[in-house]
Amino acid sequence: MQTPLEAIDLCCVRGERTLFEGLSFTLKGGDLLRIGGPNGSGKTSLLRIACGLLEPESGEVRWGGESILRLKEEFWVRLLYIGHANALKDDMSAAENLGVASTLAGIVADRRQVAEALARLGLAGRENLPVRVLSQGQRRRAALARLALGAAVPLWVLDEPFTALDAKAVENVQELMRGHVSRGGAVLYTTHHEADIGAAGSRRIDLAGGK
């Protein structure tokens, strides 16, 4: 990933609370940046700002020197965001969900690739069940299967990817993240999971909490 993501002097205000201000960081290829901090300290808001879903009170996020709010789709095709919500349709199967999600993101994936991605997250044999009947952890896996198809997308932004996952699945996801960083991609994520992903470019920013 040649073009770095730069956050410049970000300030986020939600309601009356200033969650953080003067926050700057740079994320370039091979970086694995973890955002830490207690509940309500603005981790999700920061990730949403970095994705362009939320406008910061002041400051700017740039991709290759240009504001992401101006780049829009040009930036979003280079971004894979998995938020708190799994973005799965209860009435569709995991395979259908993944197919739709990747088409919307501009990733071309055929049926076999979709099945392989789901199998990588341990959902082999369940890909055609409606998401409604899957457990919480299996739904999270189905959402995270997008990572297995998103190798070519340079920037991953993951909000609490490990919630509801069992140890094996956590290891799977960490492996995907390690692989992505070693390919030269960048990952920005939050987690309360104390686990060392063990990639060279690991860094951590802690948000102190609101003032």
What is the contact surface with another protein in residues (CB under 8 A)? 51-55, 72-73, 76-77, 79, 81, 83-92, 96, 99-101, 103-106
Nearer to another protein, 157 or 176 (CB): 157
- Least distance to another protein from the beta carbon of 195, Å? 25
Closest CA to 188 of 44, 2, 60: 44
Residue with structure tokens 């095709």?
77
d(CA 59, CA 10): 4
- Quick count: other Cβ atoms within 10 Å of Cβ 128? 11
d(CA 183, CA 162): 22
- Least distance to another protein from the beta carbon of 81, Å? 6
Nearer to another protein, 84 or 192 (CB): 84
Nearer to another protein, 151 or 199 (CB): 151
Nearer to another protein, 85 or 167 (CB): 85
* Eight-state DSSP code of residue 93: B
- Least distance to another protein from the beta carbon of 57, Å? 12
- Least distance to another protein from the beta carbon of 148, Å? 16
CA 81, 83, 86, 87 dihedral sign is: negative
Nearer to another protein, 108 or 167 (CB): 108
d(CA 94, CA 190): 24
- Least distance to another protein from the beta carbon of 202, Å? 25
